[in-house]
Amino acid sequence: MPDIKVTPLGAGQDVGRSCILVSIGGKNIMLDCGMHMGYNDDRRFPDFSYVTQNGRLTEFLDCVIISHFHLDHCGALPYMSEMVGYDGPIYMTHPTKAICPILLEDFRKITVDKKGETNFFTSQMIKDCMKKVVPLNLHQTVQVDEELEIKAYYAGHVLGAAMFQIKVGSESVVYTGDYNMTPDRHLGAAWIDKCRPDILISESTYATTIRDSKRCRERDFLKKVHETVERGGKVLIPVFALGRAQELCILLETFWERMNLKAPIYFSTGLTEKANHYYKLFITWTNQKIRKTFVQRNMFEFKHIKAFDRSYADNPGPMVVFATPGMLHAGQSLQIFKKWAGNEKNMLIMPGYCVQGTVGHKILNGQKKLEMEGRATLDVKLQVEYMSFSAHADAKGIMQLIRMAEPRNMLLVHGEAKKMEFLKDKIEQEVFVRCISCYMPANGETTTVVTNPSVPVDISLNLLKREMALGGPLPDAKRPRTMHGTLIMKDNSLRLVSPEQALKELGLSEHQLRFTCRVQLHDPHSDTDTLGRIYTHLKRSASHVFPSPQRMWDVLLSDLTLNS
Amino acid sequence: MKLYCLSGHPTLPCNVLKFKSTTIMLDCGLDTTAALYFLPLPLVHSPRLSKLPGWVSKDGAVNLEKELKECSGRVFVDSQPEFCLPEKELLDLSTIDVILISNYHCMMALPYITEHTGFTGTVYATEPTLQIGRLLMEELVTFMERVPKAQAATCWKNKEIQRLLPGPLKDAVDVWSWRKCYSVQEVNSALSKVQLVGYSQKVELFGAVQVTPLSSGYSLGSSNWIIQSHYEKVSYVSGSSLLTTHPQPMEQSSLKNSDVLILTGLTQIPTANPDGMLGEFCSNLAMTIRAGGNVLVPCYSSGVIYDLLECLYQFMDSANLGSTPFYFISPVANSSLEFSQIFAEWLCQNKQSKVYLPEPPFPHAELIQTNKLKHYPSIHGDFSSEFRQPCVVFTGHPSLRFGDVVHFMELWGKSSLNTIIFTEPDFSYLDALAPYQPLAMKCVYCPIDTRLNFHQVSKLLKDIQPLHVVCPEPYTQPPPAQPHRSDLMLELQPPPMAYRRCSVLGLPFRRRYERIHLLPELARSLVPSEIKAGVSVATVSAVLQSKDNKHVLQPVPKPAPVPPSKKRKRVTEEPPEVLNPKPLLSGAVPLEPFLAMLHKVQHTLSLRPNQSAQSACR
């Protein structure tokens, strides 16, 4: 029985280091290759020894697919390809290919240069790794080899984020990566056609949440920022350089313009300008409105938002600062946070999800005293607000996607186990077109789904047309007819032809079956009369033996002549 | 399988393919050369054009003073320029299911087809094709609408009168089907029917046919199309290029194993080498500027202009002409330049890697930043105050009949210092210049046509080996001007099938098989028996289900046990019409067991002998 096997090496009942192995139709595919933000040891990368104990991965994997540029989806890529060893193709979209190496380099710098770790991938490795990348376009069907094909769909999570359909013969799997079902200020909503995959592997970050309307959240956000600035406080918004940052920038930019505010807005790190430039060049990946108006006014040219310098953090007076990274686990955002944490006038707005183990996660859980490096503790006095701006689908969105794609089975990854459990129940209870079984494997646990593919066969057009014509001008689903044919199996080809044609092709002669039966009748009537009576009788009682009444008549006649 | 040819123009094709149950229109080209029969539309009043004498036949019998004007011995129609549409009478255009567009030059007749013909289908095109096609259409509309003509000339079209007219006008064909330009509303409505596709995207049409666009290397987003079912494959090659310019290179291997290859859009100037022409373009331009003259380049607002600007960007500094301003004047100049920078996915590798840096893929961004290239929507407004001579002006329309170029012809035509350089190959430059004669300005003809030439195409066909080739008639004979150049035609074995306007070709292949799926339960129940070495046979009795042109064979459902009939309620569900399975009766009959069996059953032989006898035969 053919089956599909799915094994998460990362992101199984967890968020971080997404890495999922899929075996389908004899092909092995790795979906994403991310790192875990919450760990600094071996656990930060997926355990590739699951694939092979020693040696390179090339011969075990047919391809690697990266869904988007966030590090928890691509952070382990140079480690996997250069240090463990993989030379096959790596597929990602153009924007991902453009942005991914920059974030990797950033990650490397923080880890190696700042924290002084050794045994980490080098800049050259990132470059070598990117050489193995094959960029693809949305909806382009890429033939990885003769049998394996992949196709990307728009996912709307960040610039260039994509969902992937992986197909071998009639079996298929869809992997969503991270996606967003509600269009926001700069990206569109995820979309997929009714491709009916055998398994839909979906993220489930917000499995239990149904978020209120985007507008409310935005209004709330603006209000809080405005209030803080009015009373002279500083607002710190930790973000990742690309993605939410741009959405919030657009939001603040328009608000500042409308309210004629003067407080400065800063965007940290040199990435800003570059990041915005990517948005300008890949404007076809943003939402309809931005695409339509970009010739007149490019939304990513900001008037009020300026580059941040480290010295500004100590400036008096109100300001708003976007600083990277988004989970406060390292870098500039953490530095600024340390400076501002002691003042209750200031505010920290966390616009996205924080992985366990990060400073961001601790603060959001209400921790008021933080242990810093060197045994120092930090009192958190500033106000902390969490606002979910990260572009993941919520429970409603996940259901929506299921309805769009109509999968046979569901597999949840990239979420917390408890939340997944809830969503799993919900999916299994929900009345879809067909019932869906839902899986949520842990890391290293294999889920096997039995598929039942139909067998493709070549049918002779003559036979098909004859059968379809017999069914009347319109097919009638209520009254099916049986058709007869002969299946010829030869040199790996399966052809269905009419029995007559099969005999002819195979050079066989057909035996004619003829049944004769002698009956003596003593009948006073004339010959023709007798014949007529036999005919009527036979027609009533034995018509099924003869193909047609005419044939029966012929048989009778010939026999009669024989006898007389 | 039939091909209806609605246009005879080899580079602006419009064919309709009937394949399986679908009707597919391949491209929708608008032949704008008809505009050459008309007088130019000046942007500002031109005393010269308005003073041209009207035309009266020699004997004075036909007087069309109002409609026809004479200029240097040629007669022109004084009316809004009209275009020659694809043939509308050959088949009912409302039956067209889809239109496949290969590049933005081949979609200009779209509003004529999708509006007012009852068309209800879908148009497929890539995103750059749609966006740039929209720009070109909007530009055309603006050119026409900003200088409205009060009267429309129609008398000259009268057959009796046209016969008496001089020169090329007499020989113009199908003049009654010529139409004026469409409106913005029609453009918007037509383009709202476009569905975007990406290269190598497989698009299913009604489950019967799959169409796929492939990169053709000619312009941004230009594509060739594969139209295939499981057993038949038609390739449509239109406007392809093997030169490395800005677009993604041409995808060739997917065209292999075609039953039929429809070949259109080869180079219009087979004798000119694009690289040589580019060199000539630069040297002529430099010569004129050094002598203090201006250069006028009539061109389309997208396409080769990007390459020209890139070439000049490198050339001007090395030729010490760095301070010469370039002006690009078109209602869509800004949009065209902006759009060119955002289609990274559709560009060649070189340009793509620039975007990864991130830098704009085309250097004209830098030309604009350094103020060397300026763009204006028209000659009115800012341009008139900022304009500085000597300069290079890029502007449309290349037919010289409408658009801002008309103004520059009037302005610069009288001075021999100035030069006009023709780069677009679509129009004969002598015809284009005819209404401006006598002209003092220098004329240089450097047509740059990057499409496949005959040498490249014969190599390509050798590689991809299509069974049959269909092409426009002109490709099967040498160009009329060079009848001895047998290398400038297609020579193939079997010879290509040629078409002309209004041809209907039967394409030479027979469909014999169709794809059907056996449900796994049915497949499992089959009992194959080996007839010969390597050949097995199984008899199949099953129920055929056909839905959305997909066929599935299901096992015959077991007749449901008839429920004890309740009196008033009739069984509504009819059981399937079950026919007895029909085994294959063939091969040697094992005589002994057969006789034994017969012997055994002879007493029970009745009028229902078939079952027992059959089992004996097995």
Q: What per-residue confidence (pLDDT) applies to B90?
A: 92
Give every strand in the sheet of B209-215, ordered side by side.
Answer: B203-205, B209-215, B223-228, B233-238, B260-264, B468-472, B497-499
Question: How far from the centroid of its chain's Cα atoms is residue A386's Cα?
Answer: 27
Nearest 5°: the CA angle B399, B405, B407 is 130
User: What distances in angstroms separate CA A72 from CA A37, A286, A374, A515, B178, one per listed residue?
Assistant: 7, 22, 28, 78, 61
pLDDT tens-digit series, residues B306-325: 999 999 988 988 888 888 99
Terminal CA-to-CA distance of chain A, rounded, Å?
A: 64
Token pair in block for residue A467:
């059968």
pLDDT band per the 50, 70, 90 thresholds, residue B614: very low
Phi, psi of A43 (to 5 degrees): -70, -10
Across A338-492, the runs of DSSP E, i.e. the strands, are 347-350, 369-371, 377-379, 383-386, 409-413, 437-439, 447-450, 455-460, 482-490
Question: How far from the centroid of its chain's Cα atoms is residue A260's Cα?
Answer: 42
- Average the pLDDT over A151-155 and give the result: 96
Question: What is the number of other CB atoms lying within 10 angstroms of the CB of residue A54?
Answer: 5
User: What distances in angstroms separate CA B1 from CA A487, B59, B504, B550, one per listed residue?
Assistant: 28, 54, 11, 20
Residue B345: which of A155, A300, A135 has the closest Cα?
A: A135
Side-chain half-sphere CA neighbours of A472 within 13 A: 8
CB contact under 8 A, A545 and B528: no
Residue A269: which of A235, A285, A286, A245 has the closest Cα?
A: A245
Phi-psi region of B16 (alpha: psi -120 to 50; beta: other; left: phi over 0): beta
Candidate from A133-147, A260-274, A327-341, B339-353 with smallest mean pLDDT = A260-274
A537: helix, strand or coil: helix
Give every strand in the sheet of B392-395, ordered side by side.
Answer: B373-376, B326-329, B392-395, B295-298, B419-422, B442-445
Token pair in block for residue A124:
């050259």
Best of A489, A493, A494, A506 to mutate (most B CBs within 10 Å, chain B): A489
Q: Which residues of chain A does B355 touch, with a Cβ-Cβ cutoff of 8 Å?
A: 94, 98, 281-282
CA distance B326 to B337: 14
Asked if residues B271 and B242 have their Cβ atoms less than 8 Å apart, the reply is: no
* B13 has a pLDDT exceeding 50: yes
Q: Omega into B559 within 30° of 0, i.e. cis?
A: no
CA distance B47 to B30: 32
Residue A6: beta bridge partners?
Answer: A22, A447
* Nearest CA-CA distance, residue B181 and chain A, Å: 25
Phi, psi of B553 (to 5 degrees): -105, 125
Asked if residues A266 and A305 have their Cβ atoms less than 8 Å apart, the reply is: yes
CB-based contact, A556 to chain B, within 8 Å? no
pLDDT tens-digit series, residues B50-103: 889 988 887 877 888 888 999 888 999 999 999 999 999 899 999 999 999 999
* B580 has a pLDDT exceeding 90: no
* A511 has a pLDDT exceeding 90: no
Best of A97, A105, A284 to mutate (most B CBs within 10 Å, chain B): A284
CA distance B432 to B437: 10
* Nearest CA-CA distance, residue A124 and chain B, Å: 17
SS3 content of chain A, % helix, strand, coil (to 5): 35, 20, 40
Cβ under 8 Å to B: A residues 269-328: 274, 277-278, 280-284, 294-295
Residue A489: beta bridge partners?
Answer: A494, B536
Q: Which residues of chain B does A461 touch, with a Cβ-Cβ cutoff of 8 Å?
A: 511-514
pLDDT tens-digit series, residues A17-67: 999 999 999 999 999 999 987 787 888 899 999 988 888 899 999 999 999
* A561 has a pLDDT exceeding 70: no
CB contact under 8 A, B345 and A94: yes
Question: What is the number of other CB atoms lying within 10 angstroms of the CB of residue B318?
Answer: 10
Q: What per-residue confidence (pLDDT) applies to B609?
A: 43
CA distance A539 to A545: 10
Question: What is the number of other CB atoms lying within 10 angstroms of the CB of residue B89?
Answer: 9
CB contact under 8 A, B607 and A478: no
Look at B234 and B585; give whichever has higher pLDDT.
B234
Q: How many CB pairs under 8 A join A and B?
A: 211
Residue B438: beta bridge partners?
Answer: none
* B298 has a pLDDT exceeding 90: yes
CB-based contact, A472 to chain B, within 8 Å? no
Asked if residues B296 and B393 have their Cβ atoms less than 8 Å apart, the reply is: yes
CB contact under 8 A, B358 and A98: yes
* A557 has a pLDDT exceeding 50: yes
CB contact under 8 A, A455 and B518: yes
Phi-psi region of A408 (alpha: psi -120 to 50; beta: other; left: phi over 0): alpha
Residue A107: which of A132, A73, A58 has the closest Cα?
A: A73
Residue B195: beta bridge partners?
Answer: B124
CA distance A263 to A234: 10
Closest partner residue to B355 (CB to CB) among A281, A484, A485 is: A281
Asked if residues B452 and B464 have their Cβ atoms less than 8 Å apart, the reply is: no
Q: Omega into B447 within 30° of 0, i.e. cis?
A: no
CB contact under 8 A, B358 and A274: yes
Phi, psi of B269 (to 5 degrees): -120, 75
Token pair in block for residue A381:
């006095």
Question: ipTM score of the complex?
Answer: 0.86
CB-based contact, A461 to chain B, within 8 Å? yes
A10: helix, strand or coil: strand
pLDDT band per the 50, 70, 90 thresholds, residue B543: confident
Residue of chain B whose alpha carbon sits nearest to that of A278: B358
Residue B339: which of B378, B300, B303 has the closest Cα?
A: B303
Amino acid identity, position B89: E
CB-based contact, A98 to chain B, within 8 Å? yes
* A289 has a pLDDT exceeding 70: yes
- Average the pLDDT over B29-48 and give the result: 92
B368: helix, strand or coil: helix
pLDDT tens-digit series, residues A239-280: 877 767 888 888 898 899 888 988 999 887 656 677 888 888
pLDDT tens-digit series, residues B320-372: 888 899 999 999 999 999 999 999 999 999 999 999 988 999 999 999 999 99
Residue A95: which of A33, A158, A155, A179 has the closest Cα?
A: A158
Residue of chain B whose alpha carbon sits nearest to that of A1: B520
Candidate from A305-314, B183-192, B363-372, B412-421 with smallest mean pLDDT = A305-314
Q: Give me Rg for the CA atoms of chain A.
A: 34
Place of tokens 């009527």: A536
pLDDT tens-digit series, residues A372-415: 776 778 888 888 888 877 778 888 899 999 999 999 999 999 99
Asked if residues A485 and B540 have their Cβ atoms less than 8 Å apart, the reply is: yes
CB-based contact, A167 to chain B, within 8 Å? no
- Across chain B, what does the average pLDDT equal? 89
- What kind and span of H or E run contains A248? helix A244-259
Place of tokens 């040891």: A41
Closest partner residue to B574 (CB to CB) among A142, A478, A506 is: A478
